[in-house]
Structure 1
Amino acid sequence: MKVLLYDGSFYGLLTSIYHGFYMKEIDIKLYIKDTYNSNFLNMEFYIDTEEAKALKVYNSINDKLGKNILKNVYYLHLAEGDEIPTLIFKYLKLAFKYGPEISLAKNNDIIINVDKYRRRVSLEAHRFTGFVRFKAIGENHYYSRISPDHNILPLIIDHFINRFRNQNFIIHDTKRELAIIYNMSQGIITDFSKEQGDYLFHNSFDKNYENLWKTFYSSVNIVERNNPRAQRNYIPSRYFKYLTEID
């Protein structure tokens, strides 16, 4: 079996797909290099990211298969799981063979998994737009730490920039050590270590605001209408640690 290893970037993935198609092998798997466990039974190739080849694949998907399949590929790229790159490769092989209508084949195992991961990524991004909580770390400067199951920062950056356009903020994905950093004029996603996040988190000065928010939450809460089961249906309990109002 041939294994193609890449750097984990979206362009790296597309470059690997480019090489995978030209190899014309039946059994090819794709993995991110940093998470792959080497196996002497496999023929392993590290694929350097090449923008020109990545763009060829990108444009081919967009022009021949449509924006929906391109969006599926991007959402899957953001999903967590060692099996994801190979799933994307198999999905595109099917799509280029049968056309964009392949996504309607809901009884196909590949399509079932593509739909499953896309929904997971999309739903998690939607949830985090609703319950990200910020700590004040300076005058008009705010910090939030999250640890989502999937790499959702690229999907939520525009939402928070539009919502908090007049504030400086950092949304820190501690699991991947990445962060959205916005300075009221530009927002970027960049490397951000746990140590940097810990310093900001523990040196924030908004404890009074946290207590005020908890007091407000308690005052509007109607005890007789508490429904923890319904609450968990809207927000899984594993996300409660990000909500200031829930101890």
Structure 2
Amino acid sequence: MKEFIYDGTFEALLTAVFYAFSTKEASTIKRKLNYSPSLLNETVDIQFEKDKFDKVYYAIENKLSTNTLENVYHVYLSEYDNCEDIILKYLRLAFKYGVKVNLAKNNDIILLVDKYCRRVTYEAHRFTGFVRFKEIGPLSYYASIEPDHNILPILITHFTNRFSDQNFILHDIRREKAIIYNKTESLIIDLSKEDGLRIESSSNDSNFEGLWKTFYTSVNIEERRNEKLRRHYMPKRYWSHLTEVK
């Protein structure tokens, strides 16, 4: 079996898909991070190649559908251990049977694609309400999050539109990546956990945090307290970054 090893970027992933479709041998795609080689398999290192990426990208978009392309991207963002192989099997099915394959809800691969996509998009939707920014300067704000999936690429449009007149940093400290926006353009950069702590320590937002906690407590109706429902809508693993429950 051939194992195509890529660097973790979406561009290199689609390049690997091109080579996997081109070989007649059984093949699999693995992310270089934490990869453990096998003596039984042939490994091929894949780098981003624009022409190969473009062929796969436009083939999915034009021969299949934009929805199929979004599914591939969301499964990639899920970062599950088997997500690359799910994408490869999904695309083989899609190119064989056409775009209607997405309606085959009794197929194990289609079911997994749907499940992974729902988890990624649902978590991204949750974080549009969970993010708590702290002021670190005049019209400049910082927030840290630890999502289960790599959702910064999904959140970037929402927050740049929402805070278009402010500078902000939205930091995924688990992946050490951050959205940086300067009122003009936004991009995702590498940002270490240590650098994030230094930025956060410059916050002068303690008075506002106190007011927010007071407001949160005052609107709470103790008789209607429902911890099970609360944890359903606001899972406890996110609480460390929520001002009101610290």
TM (norm. structure 2) is 0.98
Q: Distance in 2 between matches of 1:53 and 1:97?
A: 20
How far is the alpha carbon of 1:225 from its aligned partner? 1.1
How far is the alpha carbon of 1:194 from its aligned partner? 1.0
1:142 aligns with 2:159: no
Q: Distance in 2 between matches of 1:34 and 1:113?
A: 23
Q: Distance in 1 between matches of 2:238 and 2:95?
A: 39
TM (norm. structure 1) is 0.97
SS in 1 for 2:209: helix
Deviates more, 1:200-209 or 1:173-182: 200-209
Write the mapping of 1:86-97 to structure 2, written as runs, cut at 5 A.
Answer: 86-97=85-96
What is the count of residue pairs matched by the alignment?
246
Write the mapping of 1:46-65 to structure 2, written as runs, cut at 5 A.
Answer: 46-65=45-64
Q: Distance in 1 between matches of 2:202 and 2:46?
A: 43
Cross-structure match for 1:22: 22
How far is the alpha carbon of 1:241 from its aligned partner? 1.7
How far is the alpha carbon of 1:216 from its aligned partner? 0.7
Q: Is the 8 A contact 1:140 1:167 kept in 2?
A: yes
Q: Distance in 2 between matches of 1:114 and 1:125?
A: 17
Q: Distance in 2 between matches of 1:89 and 1:3?
A: 12
Q: Distance in 2 between matches of 1:33 and 1:240?
A: 32
Identity, in percent, stands at: 54
Q: Is the 8 A contact 1:4 1:30 kept in 2?
A: yes
Q: Distance in 1 between matches of 2:3 and 2:139?
A: 48
Q: Distance in 2 between matches of 1:30 and 1:207?
A: 47
Deviates more, 1:221-230 or 1:123-132: 221-230
Cross-structure match for 1:11: 11
SS in 2 for 1:185: coil
Q: Distance in 1 between matches of 2:214 and 2:234?
A: 21
Write the mapping of 1:24-43 to structure 2, written as runs, cut at 5 A.
Answer: 24-25=24-25, 27-43=26-42
Q: Distance in 2 between matches of 1:90 and 1:35?
A: 22
Q: Deviations over 1:124-147 (max 9, x none)?
A: 000000110011111211100011
Q: Is the 8 A contact 1:35 1:82 kept in 2?
A: no
Give the letter for the 2:167 counterpart: N
Q: Distance in 1 between matches of 2:55 and 2:238?
A: 39
Cross-structure match for 2:196: 197
Cross-structure match for 2:118: 119
Cross-structure match for 1:225: 224
How far is the alpha carbon of 1:47 from its aligned partner? 1.1
How far is the alpha carbon of 1:203 from its aligned partner? 2.4
Q: Distance in 2 between matches of 1:228 and 1:65?
A: 45
Write the mapping of 1:138-177 to structure 2, written as runs, cut at 5 A.
Answer: 138-177=137-176
Cross-structure match for 2:97: 98
Q: Is the 8 A contact 1:87 1:110 kept in 2?
A: yes
Unaligned runs of 5+ in 1: none
Unaligned runs of 5+ in 2: none
Which 4+ stretches in 1 moved above 6 angstroms? none
1:242 aligns with 2:241: yes
How far is the alpha carbon of 1:39 from its aligned partner? 1.4
